[in-house]
Amino acid sequence: MTQEANNTLVVAGNEVWVRDKEQAWILGQVTETEEEQAIVTVDKTEHKVKYSECHRANPKTHGGVEDMTKLPFLHEPGVLHNIDIRYELDEIYTYTGSILIAVNPFHKLPHMYGPHMMDQYKGVNLGELSPHVFAVADSCFRAMIREEKNQSILVSGESGAGKTETTKLIMQYLAYVGGRNTDGRSVEQQVLESNPLLEAFGNAKTSRNDNSSRFGKYVEIQFDASGRISGAAVRTYLLERSRLVQIADPERNYHIFYQLCAGASPELKEELHLRPAQEFSYLNQSKCYELNGVDNAEEFARTQKAMSIIGISEEDQNQVWRILAAILHLGNCKFDGEDEAKFADEESELSVKHAAELLNADLDLLHKALMMRTFVTIEQTFVRPIEPAGAVASRDSLAKTLYQKLFDWLVGAINSSIGQDPNAKAFIGVLDIYGFESFKKNSFEQFCINLANEKLQQHFNQHVFKMEQEEYEREKIDWSYIDFVDNQDVLDLIEGKVTGVLALLDEQCRFPKANHENFSTKLAQNHKGKHKRFSVPRHCETEFNLEHYAGQVCYDTLYFLDKNKDFVVLDHQTMLESSTSGFIQTIFPKLEGESHSSMKFSSVGSRFKTQLADLMKALNTTEPHYVRCIKPNNLNKPSVFEKANVLHQLRCGGVLEAVRISCAGYPSRKTVEEFVDRFGLLDTAAWLDENKPERDVVLAILGAAKLEGWQIGLTKVFLRSGQMASLENQRTVTLNNAASVLQKYVRRFLAQAEYRKKRRAAMKIQSLVRGGLARKLAERIRRDKAALTVQTYARRWRARRAFLTLRRAAVALQSGARGMFARTLVRKLRYENSAIVLQKYIRRHLCTAGLRKKRRAATVFQCAWRCKQAKRELRRRKAAAKETGALLTAKATLEKQLKDLEWRVELDKRLWHDSEKHHLEELDKLKAELAAVKAAADAAQATLAAETAARAEAEKALEEERAGRASLAAEAAENQARSASAAEVAEAQAKMVAAEEEAEASLARIRVEMEAARQDAELAKEKAATAEAGAKELEAQLEALTQQFAELQEETKRLEGENAALQKGLATAKVVNGDAAPAARPPLAPASGAE
């Protein structure tokens, strides 16, 4: 954009981008414009900025634009800001034309990947959906099918930008759309599994990336006529061999070494003499052994699985592990000495022994290869020992050679296993190569990497230019050649045959005594002051500067010669050829012919140059698609966007160069419909004419805008740099003018609305005042009425209070009089009641005394009668007891029962005064005891029957009978003490003793008299029946007494009733006559039973 065009864009009030040291570009607002500069306010601070150093800001949009060529103002800060605002929303993909910019989010975005997203982008034209790496891969695949032309996808970016992951996503998508859905080891499976295998052997942790690819990779995926994957080939470039022997903290060696130490089985570890990674010199130069979120053992299992899928046999896998372990053991070899190297300790000798064993090589030859050097001349061959430093270099050289050959064999094994299809219809090449690098110290690796990026940038510039031409031709507009910066002069400076940097480097490497200072001198002699891209720093003659497309880079030549030399040491080759391992012999074949030198020089730079030439030749036969990976920050953290760092990567990736090339032609373009919709207001007459064609409307708009140099194609309007901005400026002015008119009407409307609002407010205030006055009047009237009401109630209250006072006094007088009369009456009634109570108690005493006398007489009569009956029964039982022992037992039982009956009768006499119910309960008890007597009689009969069973039982019965007779004698003595004389008791006792002696003497006669005993038992039963009859007779007598008692109670009640009737008559007579009645006769006392 020219300065004049920029001057027309920068007007007061516009937002512009201004350069800033920390953030590259910062947003400000123009407050004033002058002839050659503008005054811009940034963070409330004014700055004077030249028009050439500020750029008009694009209109603000939510989420930015998906294709940055659609930005109204296409410039460096606009591109940077658009990527920034999209990154904040996790929109990590953005188009710049056909170039895809991918920003590393540094966190998982699972919703953006997977089969569902692949299916969504399958068969969709580029640009129809949001930018995505799947969209680029699908566009590439469909272009190959449609045009039957080879395609390529070039993925570039600095370390940590996400190149490896982006490449894997592209290959996953191509395998998805080109897979055959077959079982077993399909080609696409092998292609995908080659990624983790090459990552394990070719990736390492650096200070900027935990999984940095230390080699370039180009994968050709071949397709047949039906669009299915039919073969593939992998090519690698410039493996970083120096990392194997020298690493800096906190970087790591290649992943496979840590995986092997952690994931090998115990048997394999024992076979390989493995120890933890911390104990190997090639690994413990850095203290970093683990990666965050990565399990080395699991990764080792994954690597083994990938090797199996690729088709590497277990035997070859074992040989690979042996070579890796041998390299680790070689690193543990230490040397000392002065002129001749020797092992520093026994540990070193043991490590060499392990290395020879694992390589299946001769131990002496390995010693010689490490500490001796063979020199071959035309005349003779001689061997000379080398110093310790030379031995260390020889050891490291052998280790690097082993690993390089192993890596090359692995790539060859992948290619052999997958296989190439000679009949393939087309292929898609995916290039994953390191981006442009510029550090504080840049060595030979950075030189080769930047050479590759220069070649790719040239290819990129040519392709972008070609795409611009194709669009111009497709739209059929007139156009002229676009000038762009060609970097061919830098490539000539590096690749020149005689004086090129690589040629001079190879020349110096061929001289045994040449060093980096000689190389620097040669460079300065040939190019200093002669080439605009070459310069030498003032105070350092061993460094040189090259002006690359992405900026100037300073290279240090200190290790250029060493890193460019790829010698095949004759001693190393001899030792490896002596190995008995067929695998070692495969990767180290014997050299043809005889060498006359101890070392065979091979230039790494020249070989890399040849590889680049082959790569560019292959890419030139394809239609390229570009993916530029951006690392947003150096902290590897999400949501952090370092603008200066990103801007540097955009420059190094050629994105801004592509923007510049686009700006050189017609950078701003819109479809006719979009153009008319946005800028139609610049000519409203043509815009609103529905009958006018859109092309004529565009011409009218451009004429009204007074623009020159534009072009109208078949479907798009093409504008020169700055013209889109000029249209935007005129559109802004038109909108501002229209806004002024709208503001005029709006202000009038607002003023009228304010007037109406104030008038309504005044009316409302008036109505409120009137309402307030009316409410005050109503309140005064209400208070007057309330006062009258209060007075009315007050007068009524005073009158009622006087009335109530008089009534209470009258009631008090009346109650006093009535109380006095009542108390007099109560005293009279109380006196009369007292007399009645006295009479009642006297009568009750007389009745009770008579009842007690009668009861005692009846009790005495009953006791005498019962005693007489008991004595008569006792005499009968004593007679019966003399006859047999059983009769004596029955007699004793009956006498005991008789004693109990007498005691019960006496108890009845005592308890008769308490209650009739007690007599009834005692009667029940007597019946129960009578039943017990019957049961005892039955038991006696049963005992008598049992005595007939045996003599022993009879003797036992006799003892019981003795005890019974003793008890009976005691009871008889007690009874006779009460009712008979002492002589009779003594006589009875004597008879019982005689009976006992007679029973003991006549024991023999008991058996004969058993029958008589049974008869006596029956007689006892009859006597028991007689006793029962006597008990019934006693019960009858008791019932008769109870009946008499009931009759006495009824007589008492009758007398009480008569007394009550008399008292009632007397009371009535007193009330009638008004005089006190004579004292009534007191009521009869209640019967003792009632008491």
Instruction: Dump pLDDT digits (tens) for 457-503.
Output: 888 877 777 777 778 788 888 776 666 667 889 999 999 988 999 99
* Region 21-45 average pLDDT: 86
Q: Which of 58, 104, 150, 212 is catalytic?
A: 212
For residues 404 and 484, membership in a common domain is answered with no
pLDDT at position 372 over 50: yes
Catalytic residue among 104, 167, 209, 236: 209
Residues 6+ apart with CB under 8 A from 62: none
The confidence score (pLDDT) of residue 929 equals 65
* pLDDT (average), residues 313-336: 95
580 assigned to active site: no
The answer to whether the pTM exceeds 0.85 is: no
Instruction: Detail the residues annotated as belonging to a binding site for ATP.
Output: 157-164
Answer whether residue 588 is part of any domain: yes
- Place 445 in a pLDDT band, splitting at 50, 70 and 90: confident
Among 1012, 1031, 1048, which residue terminates a domain? 1048
Give the residue-averaged pLDDT of 105-121. Answer: 92
Whether residue 375 is found in the same domain as residue 491? no
SS3 44: coil
- Least confident window among 97-111, 412-426, 476-490, 748-762: 476-490
CATH of the domain at 288: 1.20.120.720
159 carries an active-site annotation: yes
Rounded-to-integer distance, Cα 283 and Cα 199, Å: 18
Q: Is 207 a catalytic residue?
A: no
677, 703, 719 - which closes a domain: 719
690 pLDDT higher than 90: no
Same domain (yes/no): 890, 959: yes
Confidence check: pLDDT of 181 > 70: no
Residue 949 has pLDDT above 80, yes or no: no
Neighbouring C-alpha atoms within 13 Å toward the C-beta of 1055: 18
The pLDDT of residue 1038 is 65
What is the structure's pLDDT at 549? 83
1081 has a pLDDT exceeding 50: no
Which residue numbers belong to the known binding site? 157-164
Mean pLDDT of 977-986: 48
445 and 403, same domain (yes or no)? no
Whether 209 sits among the annotated catalytic residues: the reply is yes
Q: Is 727 among the domain residues?
A: no
Model confidence band, residue 1083 (pLDDT cutoffs 50, 70, 90): very low
Q: Do 190 and 311 contact (CB within 8 A), yes or no?
A: yes
- For the segment 703-713, the average pLDDT, to the nearest whole number, is 84
Tell me: do 929 and 1026 sit in the same domain: yes
| Catalytic member of 58, 96, 164, 893 | 164
CA 185 to chain CA centroid, Å, is: 38
Check if 213 is active-site.
yes
Selected residue with higher pLDDT from 212 and 257:
257
Model pLDDT for residues 555-608, shown as the tens digit of each residue? 999 889 888 887 767 888 888 888 899 999 998 887 655 444 455 567 888 988
3-state DSSP assignment of residue 15: strand
Same domain, residue pair 619 and 671: no
pLDDT of residue 937: 58
Instruction: Tell me the pLDDT of the chain averaged across its residues.
Output: 82
| Domain contains 262 | yes
What is the total count of domains within the chain? 4
527 and 445 within one domain: yes
Q: Hey, which residues does 1080 pair with through a beta bridge? A: none
Identify whether 134 is part of a domain: no
Mean pLDDT for the stretch of residues 71-93:
90
From the candidates 193, 251, 357, 437, which is the catalytic residue?
437
Distance between CA atoms of 491 and 453, rounded to whole angstroms? 10
Catalytic, out of 94, 104, 152, 159: 159
Which ranges of 642-722 would DSSP assign to H, the alpha helix?
643-652, 655-664, 672-679, 684-688, 694-705
pLDDT of residue 295: 94
Cis peptide before 250 (omega within 30 of 0): yes
Q: Can you say whether the dihedral through the CA atoms of 835, 841, 846, 847 is positive or negative?
A: positive
Out of 1012, 1029, 1048, pick the residue that ends a domain.
1048
CA 84 to chain centre: 32
User: Which of the following is catalytic: 97, 160, 178, 202?
Assistant: 160
Q: How far is CA 507 from the centre of its chain?
A: 64
1025 and 969 housed in the same domain: yes
- How do residues 205-223 score in pLDDT, each as one tens digit? 988 788 888 888 999 999 9
**Torsion on CA atoms 723, 725, 726, 731, rounded to nearest 10:** 130
639 has catalytic annotation: no
455 and 380 belong to one structural domain:
no
**447-456, 664-673, 736-745: least confident range:** 664-673
Give 1085's pLDDT tier (boundaries 50, 70, 90): very low
pLDDT at 555: 94
Type of residue numbered 922: E
Q: Residue 712's domain spans which residues?
A: 666-719
**Span 193-204, average pLDDT:** 91
Three-class DSSP category at 956: helix
* 1031 and 980, same domain (yes or no): yes
CATH code assigned at 672: 3.30.70.1590
pLDDT at 1037: 67
For residue 1000, indicate whether it is catalytic.
no
Is 26 part of any domain?
A: no
Give a yes or no: residue 260 inside a domain. Answer: yes
pLDDT reported for residue 890: 61
Domain CATH number, residue 491: 1.20.58.530
Return the H-helix or E-strand segment holding 718.
strand 716-719
435: annotated active-site residue: yes
Query: Please, which residues bridge with residue 19 across strands?
Result: 25
CA distance 905 to 903: 5
470 lies in the same domain as 490: yes
The answer to whether residues 390 and 475 belong to one domain is: no
- Domain presence at residue 448: yes
pLDDT digits (tens, 9 = 90+) for 899-924: 776 677 667 666 666 655 655 666 67
**Residue carrying the six token digits 């019962």:** 866
Other beta carbons within 10 angstroms of residue 862's beta carbon come to 17
Would 660 be classed as within a structural domain? no
